Each structure stands twice: as structure tokens, then as C-alpha cells.
Chain A
Amino acid sequence: SIGAGKSALSTDETPNTLEEISSYNNFYEFGLDKADPARYADALTVDPWAIEIGGLVDKPGSYDLADILTGVTLEERIYRFRCVEAWSMVIPWVGFELATLLNRVGVQPGAKFVAFETLVRPEEMPGIGAGYLDWPYREGLRLDEAMNPLTILATGLYDEPMPKQNGAPMRLVVPWKYGFKSIKSIVKISLVEEMPQTTWNMLQPREYGFYSNVNPTVDHPRWSQASERRIGGGFFAPRVDTQMFNGYGEQVASLYAGQDLAQDF
């Protein structure tokens, strides 16, 4: 047990079971099927683990994960998690605010975006060779999104270390955006001036925008985003209405004041 403290930012909805959270994953580095990550991620070496932090920061360098974790206080954040495929879960993450790390390495004034990359290690990740995506998996946030208190780097769930299939040893969680923004098994963080390239946007720019905020009024071209199936009800899993910003509008709507979210989808 990690002994993570509670957070006022947690939802009081009932979390999905560990079994549900760790057996139904999109992590294409291990295969396309949602059971593939749980099947193959065991082979992933997560210790030692280093994260290269660079770009417009005062203290660039390769940081050992253990060094990053000394000095941060881990807390539990129970967040709704909405996949772009129109299913959702409630997940008790353990992590710390991304802002804490960014402040520690010193963000320089010119930085406007944060870019992230996932590990590419074909000998441990059987999906890499299949070439489903243009590796490494890339994601990005605008700096104000990255600094929002809701945005965390998660190292565990259910008060235990992160299962490998969920993105061990450390992943991003951005609860008001579609799940694919919450990049897994991070090895690189760069502060940059220009909007970075992101994997799904590179593959299908018409279908996946940079922002990818959960938005029931802006449909994915191939399916509706108006509602979602809440995983966990088995055969009769209820379909529920999708909320704007996945229900986190109070904390994040102001980030997008003046933006047309149908344009900046």
C-alpha cells in the first residue's frame, strides 16, 4: 500500500474494480485488442526508469524516476475516465500534480506547450513491430492545461503501484480529455514553443484534434459522443449521458474562454 492521501478533487462515484481497470486497456504498443496489454505487458521492465526532461526548462536532464518521486506527495484522485470510443470508467488513480514537477525543473517564459513521449522498446512491446501507429506514441498539452491542478502524473491505482498495462511506472491523467491524451509509460517530457505533434492527430487529423476535450456536442466523425457505456454493469451496463469536459467544467471551462470548441476539437 502506498498510503496516498485523499483529495477534494476526487469524485464520490463508485470506482470500477481493479480487474475492470487492468483488463480492458488501449495500449497499442502491446497490441490492438483490449486484452492484449494485460496479456503482454508483464514483459515490460519498469525499473530502472528514467525520464528525459528537456526543451525550455531551467534544469534539463535525464531524471531517475525515484528522484522525481522524492519530494512529491502522492494522493488519491478518483476521476471519471472517458474514452473517445464512447465507454467510460471511474478510476482511483494515485499520483501528483504535473505542475509540481514542471515547477521543479523550471519552465522558461517562452514555453507554451508540453510534449510527452511513450517508451519504444520493441523487444518488450509486441505491438511496436506491427506498426499500428507511428511510434513513439506522442501527446501534448497547452501549458495552462498542464498546470491545471486536475492534471496529474499517476504512478498507481487502488493505492498500489501502477499495473504495467495501465502505463507503469508513470503516466499522465487529464480527466476532462478523451483517454488517449493520458499518455502511458512516459520517457520524455519537453517544454516547447509550438503546438507539438500528437499521435492520433497525425494519423487522422479530421477525427482527433489537439485538444480532444470530452464534448458531447462535438461528435467524432464516425460515432456520436453524446453518451457513453459505463463499464462494469456487465451485460446490462448502463448508457449514460456524456458531460461537457467530462463533468470537470467548473475547473477547466475557463481555460477555453473565447475558443470555438467545435473548431478546436
Chain B
Amino acid sequence: MNAQRINGALRPVPPLAVYLLGLVPLGLLVVQVFTGGLGVDPVKVIERQLGEVALQLIVAGLCITPLRWLTGVNLIRFRRAVGLLAFFYVALHLLTWLLLDLQLRWGEIGADLTKRPYIIVGMVGFALLLPLAITSNNLSIRRMGAAGWQRLHQLTYLAAIAGAVHYVMLVKTWAAEPLLYLGLVVALLAWRAARSLRRAGLRSA
């Protein structure tokens, strides 16, 4: 009953509101660049913050379906906005690395992309998100058909794992935060897997 009230209250909220809300972390970063609030190594902070926001959005996107199973609250209408925002932050994170951190030293960038496992894993995550971002529009759904589109968008699961593993691998010691993200992603995916297995079981019974 509460879920219905929440769903009703959300009905007039346009997805645009989610996009605007999603730009707040970026706005805060930009303000801090100009006020010096990022400390003495702003590039590392920007790089890290953009990556972390992307990971938070990916986890948020993965929560939308389980939230509906659990509570009946339906946020599916906002999922595209959450996904595209996640891609936007991943792309900015990658650009920060290329432009501000490595400063287009292509030799080193090339070596990193072939030799450093955490960078390779991060790049794979970005590559997986690319087709999802390109097809995140109604036209693509119509052209691909709902089933095919949905199958393609299951790449989100792999991208989420890649993002979380990328974070765990780049930290020098076992820290709580990256492990928390990886734990959340794994739990959210395991939940889906368990549910679809159970359903398959029910069907065959």
C-alpha cells in the first residue's frame, strides 16, 4: 500500500529530474576546482571521485529491480537516466586519466592498457558500457526488439563487476570501501541469479 503511494507520488516526476540530480556531484567537483577544495593533488581526487560516483550509479541501477521485488516501489522509469549518468561519469573518469593524469603520454598509456591488469579491467568495463549507452533510447529498443535489447543490456552485470574489481585492484592494501562495492555488486547479481534459477525450477516442475 505504501509502495503504491510512493509510485503514485513519483508519477509526475520526469526522468529529467534524475539527470539534473545526477549532475550535482560533477557540479560540486567543478566548484571545488575553483575554490581549491580538492587539496594539493586535485587531479587524483577528481579521477577518484568521478570513478566512485560512476560505481555508485551502477550499484543504484542494479538496485532498481530488486527494490521492486522487495517493496513494490517501481523506479524502472528512471533506470535509463541512472545508466546513462553512470556511463557519463565513467567517460569523464577515463578522460581525466588520459588528459589530466597521464597527459596524453601515449607510450605510457599504451603500456598501461596492455600490461596493467587493473587498467585493462577498467577499460573492459568502459567498452562494455559503450554499446549500452548507444542503445539507451526508444529507437534502439524498437529496432532490436525488446528481448534482444534486454539480452544486450545484461552486459551491465559484467560492467558492474569490472568496475568494482578495478577499484579493488588499484588500492594498495585491503581497504573496506572497494570491498564494500564489490560485495554489493556480487550480492545484487547473486540475488538475480538465484531468482531466475528458482523460476526456471518452478517452470520445469
Contact = CB atoms under 8 A, between A and B. Distances in A.
A229 B105 CA distance: 12
B175 A32 contact: yes
11 contacts: A16-B40, A24-B39, A24-B40, A87-B41, A87-B44, A132-B175, A234-B42, A235-B33, A235-B43, A237-B41, A239-B105
Contacts of B115: 219
Nearest first, the 5 closest Cβ-Cβ pairs linking A and B are A20-B40, A239-B103, A24-B40, A132-B173, A224-B108
A224 B112 contact: yes
A235 B39 contact: no
A133 interface: yes
Nearest to B43: A237
Contacts of A85: 172
Contacts of B111: 219, 224, 226
A35 interface: yes
Contacts of A132: 173-175
A231 B39 CA distance: 10
B108 A227 contact: yes
Interface of B: 33, 36, 39-44, 100-103, 105, 107-108, 111-112, 115-119, 169-170, 172-175
Contact of B39 (A35, A133, A223, A239): A35
Given A132-B173, A231-B41, A223 B112 contact: yes
Given A221-B116, A235-B33, 9 more contacts: A19-B40, A34-B41, A85-B172, A203-B173, A222-B170, A224-B108, A232-B40, A239-B102, A239-B103
A239 B109 CA distance: 13
A85 B172 CA distance: 9
Nearest to A38: B39
Contacts of A234: 36, 42
Contact of B101 (A23, A226, A229): A229
Given A132-B173, A222-B170, A235-B100, A227 B105 contact: yes
B43 A226 contact: no
A30 to B, nearest CB: 14
| Majority secondary structure of chain B interface residues (helix, strand, loop or mixed) | helix
Contacts of B43: 229, 235, 237
A221 B118 CA distance: 10
Contacts of B118: 222
Contacts of B116: 221-224
A16 B170 CA distance: 27
A235 B42 contact: yes
Interface in A111-160: 132-133
B134 to A, nearest CB: 31
Contacts of A28: 173
A112 B111 CA distance: 38
Interface in A217-264: 219, 221-224, 226-227, 229, 231-232, 234-239
Contacts of A32: 173, 175
A238 B101 CA distance: 9
B42 A229 contact: no
A227 B106 CA distance: 12
B30 to A, nearest CB: 11
Contacts of A203: 173
Nearest to B169: A222
Nearest to B112: A224
A226 B116 CA distance: 14
A32 to B, nearest CB: 6
A203 B175 CA distance: 13
Contacts of B173: 28, 32, 132-133, 203
Nearest to B46: A235
A221 B117 CA distance: 9
Interface string A3-39: 0000000000000100110011000100010110000
A66 B101 CA distance: 44
Contacts of B36: 234
Best-surrounded residue of B42, B100, B172 (most CB of chain A within 10 A): B172
A254 B43 CA distance: 37
A225 B79 CA distance: 40
A225 to B, nearest CB: 10
B101 A34 contact: no
